Structure 1
Amino acid sequence: MFNRHVTRRAAEYPHYIAIERLSAPKTQDESGEELSADGYWETLAEGWAKIEPVSGRDYFQNLQVQSALTHKVELRTFVDGVTPRDRVSFGNRTFNIAAIINPEERGRQLELMCSEQQ
């Protein structure tokens, strides 16, 4: 759970999200047997946020129409250590983090500019 300074009213943050980090894959289990080389996503932090669409566009790729939608995820509190390699999970939706903004450089809030995975 986000646990730093609360700077705004809870009603302004209606979305319960998780920030997830890809863990390094284990290559062997306790008995020494080889495991899958894929990592897994583990929860770094979770709490209330506000998710807002910022921009969207359609484009052609491989003879198909694709959509790109950018969102701003505003966290009610500051979370240390978030990087663009992490992701935001909200229900069955996943957002890749493109940029991290610390408004006013005060360490009280966090804004994540994200693109939604299709």
Structure 2
Amino acid sequence: MNPGELRHRISLMQKQTSADTDGYPTETWEPLYSAWAKVEPISGREYYQAAAVQAQHQVRFTMRYRKDITPAMRLRWDGEDYEIKAVIDLEGRRRWLQIMVEAVSSG
């Protein structure tokens, strides 16, 4: 992996739960930190659900290794949020981390 390919700034986010003014729990995604990553679109498709067209696409992000990234987190890139599906230590050497994500949005 060439470090020069890490040209895209991403943010990793964690779910935070707090109470609203009426005391009911609310969930928000708060940024934890940002990092440089390589971005590779993998696939995209459209399908019908609930009488609306849905767009779905998968992206692979490669970044320097961090041990604290989990599928319970989200990733934001270029103003769009992605659900983390898998976190892979490339070559098992703790140098590079591959994050497989999926974004689903109404179209």
Mapping of residues 80-95 of structure 1, within 5 Å: 80-95=67-82
Specify which of 98, 101, 104 is matched with residue 88 of structure 2. Answer: 101
Structure with greater Cα Rg:
1
CA contact (8 A) 2:55 2:104 kept: no
After superposition, what is the alpha-carbon deviation per residue over 1:49-95, rounded to whole angstroms, capped at 9, x for unaligned? 012110111111112221110000111x1111211110111231111
| TM-score for both structures, normalised by structure 1 | 0.77
| TM-score for both structures, normalised by structure 2 | 0.84
Moved over 3 A (4+): 33-36
Q: Does 1:40 align with 2:28?
A: yes
**Displacement, 1:36?**
5.0
Unaligned runs of 5+ in 1: 1-6
**Displacement, 1:23?**
2.1
Bigger proportion of residues as strand:
2
Mapping of residues 18-97 of structure 1, within 5 Å: 18-25=11-18, 27=19, 35-75=23-63, 77-97=64-84
Percent of paired sites with the same residue: 28
**Residues matched between the structures, number:** 105
For residues 100 and 72 of structure 1, do their structure 2 counterparts lie closer, same or farther at Cα, with a shift above 3 Å needed?
same
Alignment partners' CA distance in 2, 1:50 and 1:44: 19
How large is the RMSD of aligned CA atoms in angstroms? Answer: 2.0
